[in-house]
Structure 1
């Protein structure tokens, strides 16, 4: 039996190949993919032409997916054929779409090794559509960071970068009851999506001076040491990966503010450590989502949560090239989904 799978051959060389359909071992399950999402890391892998280091073999991509259990290994417990699920791509021995030489989520079927309920395989509630459930992985990236920095309803938040991860953070903040959220981006279409998701202020620093706009929105409080007026925000979230914004956040931040870094910075960033010291700033990095899937699935299942601004386009699998091209256009797209079955 053969199936369709997207594989990366080199820089911007993605092909839909016919490959052997996976078979479940005793501890594995095979999932029939219903829908998958295209992630910013997939775009980066395609630009580079490889994952980690160059390989002579084509590499499968895709780690955001939802579908139905198709086959269950004999030693697997509590998972049944026909169950609707989302997959944690990094649990057990899995590295789905992020370096596994054989298995990726941009496919008709996917093997999940060492399958365990509520660890690598998570059931989708009956009322939750695949198109919403597939957002679990990207939203979990931000929710893990919010958990690490203990985001609360009383926080006054500045978020840099309104790509899919940043938009998911806006949705998660609103779900936590945070009301004061300013989103910063240089692309107006992204800012409008952030507004749809609940941001009460949007700022394009290419059109207005950032610190002045934030002071006008949130007001200022004096520094305890210098008396200098500082932006009255408690939490800065970096989803942009632009060093200059991070540097500016350290300068603008009030005493005891927190700075959460969710973005990947491609170059080292020099920060004013005197400001970090005298203002007692807390800078926290966040990677992946070790335990957040159940929390995010419950959040996505709340029909009061507005998510329409996060998902921009859907394509059928045979139009994958169009879908991937759209995902690379930040003016038109947010999260791009591909329907498989």
Structure 2
């Protein structure tokens, strides 16, 4: 390892820079990971538009990653140098790439407190390809949402948003045995991707969206009015109007999982919410989902790399972020942090 490394940081609103910083120093309780791949998350784009999360300090970003253990502190016994690992960025209050002092868009990453919190690094099983590693994190977000609403095979699901998280939710629900899953989006390219994965893909602009939901999932009656019999909805866009629309069209007793990150207050008709007995359940991050997702991937029942549309070297990370903003071309943009 050289004495300095490149580190991607936010310096202000839409001000993204690949800075040169001192290489990480491994403490007795810590691990230094040689980052191989790190995916661009929608929250990374959100942090950039906000100007960061650390006030006047630059914000290092990147939290969807895997790599090799480069160095392990004297007190660390859970992993060894050379081992492939997936980084759980939120354990031990590290908040890697989420307002903490480290970020994954760099060749080397310091993961603090592994001796006290060994679950912050999970071995990537030998049977799984390298390309699966950086996808464990977004799949864990999807799995957490499915866990929060206790999605089961008999559910009829509608996913609003066919971005990386929406399509990850689709894969997770299919793994759980759900059928006739509907995905709604504005982007025809993303709807095509959802359709290729086996979803019923519908345009959010379709004036017949409501009757098409009823056609696919059946009808439930609400004071004599026909409403979709869909039992669970996932909001994965972060758009206030979409969340409000879901609450409006959802039928009696349905569950709404809020996974999109919203920056505006929503207006809800509480009388209708009360009368329909809708459950609104939020899902942010993950808790126990990393091991669950790794087990799912080991089943071989789906290939998450279908979500990856573009690869860039770290040296071209600013171009990669521009591509990630283009919903007509990109779904998941992956960065090679060793190039």
- Within 5 Å, give how 1:174-213 maps onto structure 2: 174-199=174-199, 201-213=200-212
User: What residue number does 1:216 align with?
Assistant: 215
2:91 match: secondary structure = coil
Secondary structure in 1 aligned to 2:48?
helix
- What pairs with 1:182-331 in structure 2 (closer than 5 Å)? 182-199=182-199, 201-223=200-222, 226-331=223-328
**What TM-score comes out, normalization by structure 1 length?**
0.94
Q: Secondary structure at the match of 2:35?
A: strand
Q: 1:76-111: per-residue Cα shift (whole Å, max 9, x none)?
A: 12211111001111111311111123x110000000
CA contact 2:32–2:111 (8 Å) conserved in 1:
yes
Q: Residue 127 of structure 1 corresponds to which residue in structure 2? A: 127
Deviation at residue 38 of structure 1 after TM alignment: 0.6
Deviating beyond 3 angstroms after TM superposition, the runs of 4 or more aligned structure 1 residues are: none
**In structure 1, what is the equivalent of residue 97 of structure 2?**
97
For 1:49, the equivalent position in structure 2 comes to: 51
Distance 1:25 1:327 in 2: 35
In the alignment, structure 1 residue 172 sits paired with structure 2 residue 203: no
Structure 1 Cα separation of the partners of residues 239 and 13 of structure 2: 24
- More divergent stretch after superposition (243-252 vs 163-172): 243-252
State the shift of 1:65 in Å: 0.8
Coordinate RMSD, CA, aligned: 1.5
How many residues in Structure 1 have an aligned counterpart in Structure 2?
Answer: 335
After TM superposition, give the deviation of residue 230 of structure 1 in Å. 1.4
Residues 250 and 11 (structure 1), Cα distance of their counterparts in 2 relative to 1, 3 Å cut? closer
Q: Which runs of 5+ in 2 are unaligned?
A: none
Matching residue of 2:111: 112
Corresponding position of 1:38: 40
Deviation at 1:319, TM superposition (A): 1.7
Q: Secondary structure at the match of 1:62?
A: coil
User: Deviation of residue 118 (structure 1)?
Assistant: 5.2
Give the TM-score, by structure 2 length.
0.94
Say whether the 8 Å CA contact 1:4–1:16 is kept in structure 2: yes
Could you tell me whether the CA contact under 8 Å between 2:202 and 2:209 is conserved in 1?
A: yes
Contact 1:93 1:113 in 2 (8 A): no
1:143-197 CA distance string (max 9 Å, x none): 1111011000111011101111111100111111111210110111111111222
2: CA distance between counterparts of 1:134 and 1:10? 26
Helix, strand or coil: the match of 1:184? strand
Cα distance in 2 for partners of 1:149, 1:50 equals 31
